[in-house]
Amino acid sequence: MEHFISNLKTQFKQGGILIQLIYINVLIFLLASILKVIGTLLGFGSEINHILEYFYLPSNLQTFIFRPWTLITYMFFHQDILHILFNMLWLYWFGTIFKAHFNPRTLGGLYFLGGIFGGIIFLISYNVFPYFEAARYSSTLIGASASVLAIVVATAFRLPNLNLQFFLLGTIKLKWVALVIVLLDLISITSDNAGGHIAHLGGALAGYIFSLNWRSGKDITSYINKIIDQIVNLFKPKNRLKVKVNRRSPLETDQEYRNRKKNAQDEINAILDKVKKSGYQSLSDPEKRRLFEESKKN
């Protein structure tokens, strides 16, 4: 058992943001499901459900004001095994393609951006349209679908003619897959799962806006990634005894130091431009190592 847990920890640390997101979603689902089962067996299942609702995004604005964290937490909770299974499969499939053609660090930021957009569109819709008035005070939103759809749409704009192989359907271009998904969500916003479909459209909008900015050389997820890094650093073990090493040689002049730093930054910028134009897979092994070494410094 210890060996199994140790392997999971190693895979989590080395798997990158995509695997980490999947692991976090699955772990939260398992913990929530176990709590529900224990609560039901012991006769306080309703109390457990009530506690878990503090992590779901409520449709009522008055409730949301006192639970603002739910705009983030809702995207890591799922209703049942099929719900999380399909979301994680889509996240893995399209996340893998996304990582190969964008800066891999961007995946985590877009996951959160898509979820936030989906949550906001859900809140606005349920508090603006009269159709949702009856369900406004009792509906909640959970699931990573909006986050996943942001990644799907962003990937479709990057690689519209990428051929995907589907069982029984054959080969379909990625742009048509994304378009069909968005259209199905659009015509389903008055269905039983109206909130979910509305959130999907919000996620798709986030993916579209991300793509437009990426084409113009802007990464709108950079601020989100900085926040994620700061939060992660809070939980990293810190060495109390630190030795600060001055990397600048005592024989190096001020001008030489500035030139060296500028050349190093120009090298990184050139690698990132290459990733934007041709994808991560176009980098040579030395370029990948250089980018990895630089990411560890930030």
**What does the alpha-carbon distance between residue 94 and residue 79 come to, in Å, rounded to a whole number?**
22
Q: Is the pLDDT of residue 114 over 70?
A: yes
Stretch 5-12: mean pLDDT, rounded? 68
Q: What's the mean pLDDT in 23-51?
A: 95
Calculate the CA 74 to chain-centre distance. Answer: 12
pTM given for the model: 0.76
Query: Which domains are present in the chain?
Result: 2-230 (1.20.1540.10), 253-297 (no CATH)
> How many whole angstroms separate alpha carbon 212 and alpha carbon 207?
9
Asked if residues 78 and 142 have their Cβ atoms less than 8 Å apart, the reply is yes
The answer to whether residues 183 and 128 touch, using CB atoms and an 8 Å cutoff, is no
DSSP classification of residue 243: -
Question: What pLDDT was estimated at residue 167?
Answer: 81
The pLDDT of residue 169:
82
Phi and psi at residue 131, in whole multiples of 5°?
Answer: -60, -30
| pLDDT on residue 36 | 95
- The pairing of strands 163-166 and 170-173 is antiparallel
pLDDT > 60? residue 250:
no
Residue 71 has pLDDT above 90, yes or no: yes
What pLDDT, on a 0 to 100 scale, did the predictor assign at position 278? 77
Average pLDDT over every residue of 137-153: 95
Nearest to 147 by CA among 233, 82, 76: 76
% pLDDT > 70, the chain:
86
**pLDDT tens, residue by residue, 210-240:** 999 998 889 999 888 888 888 877 776 666 5
The amino acid sitting at 213 is N
Residue 250: phi and psi, rounded to 5, are: -65, -20
Question: Model confidence at 47, in pLDDT bands (50, 70, 90)?
Answer: very high
Closest CA to 57 of 149, 132, 127, 122: 122
- pLDDT class of 51 with cuts at 50, 70, 90: very high
Whether the pLDDT of residue 249 is over 60: the answer is no
Tokens of 188: 């389903």
The predicted model gives 160-186 an average pLDDT of 91
Span 91-108, pLDDT tens digits: 999 999 998 888 878 999
243 vs 28, more confident: 28
Hey, which residues does 140 pair with through a beta bridge? 58
